[in-house]
Amino acid sequence: MNERPLNVLFLCTGNSARSILAEAILNHLGQGRFQAFSAGSQPTGQVNPYVLDLLNQQGLPTESLHSKHWDVFARPEAPLLDFVFTVCDNAAGEVCPVWPGQPMTAHWGLADPAAVDGDDAAKRHAISMAFRLLHRRLSLFVSLPLSKLDAMSLQTRLNQIGQHPSPDQ
3-state secondary structure of 147: helix
Distance, in Å, from the CA atom of 161 to the CA atom of 169, rounded to the nearest integer, reads 15
Among the listed residues 6, 8, 12, 161, the single catalytic one is 12
State CA 158 to chain mean position distance: 13
**Amino acid letter at 72?**
V
Q: Is 1 a catalytic residue?
A: no
Among the listed residues 29, 52, 72, 96, the single catalytic one is 96
Determine which helix (DSSP H) or strand (DSSP E) holds 127, and give its type and residue range.
helix 120-142
Q: Is 12 a catalytic residue?
A: yes
Distance, in Å, from the CA atom of 35 to the CA atom of 49, rounded to the nearest integer, reads 23
Distance, in Å, from the CA atom of 89 to the CA atom of 157, rounded to the nearest integer, reads 19
Among the listed residues 22, 87, 88, 91, the single catalytic one is 88
Taking the CA atoms of 141, 3, 96 and 20 in sequence, report the sign of the dihedral they define. Answer: positive
Q: Is 88 a catalytic residue?
A: yes
On whether the CB atoms of residues 27 and 34 are closer than 8 A, the answer is yes
Parallel/antiparallel/unpaired status of strands 34-40 and 6-12: parallel
Report the catalytic residues: 12, 88, 96
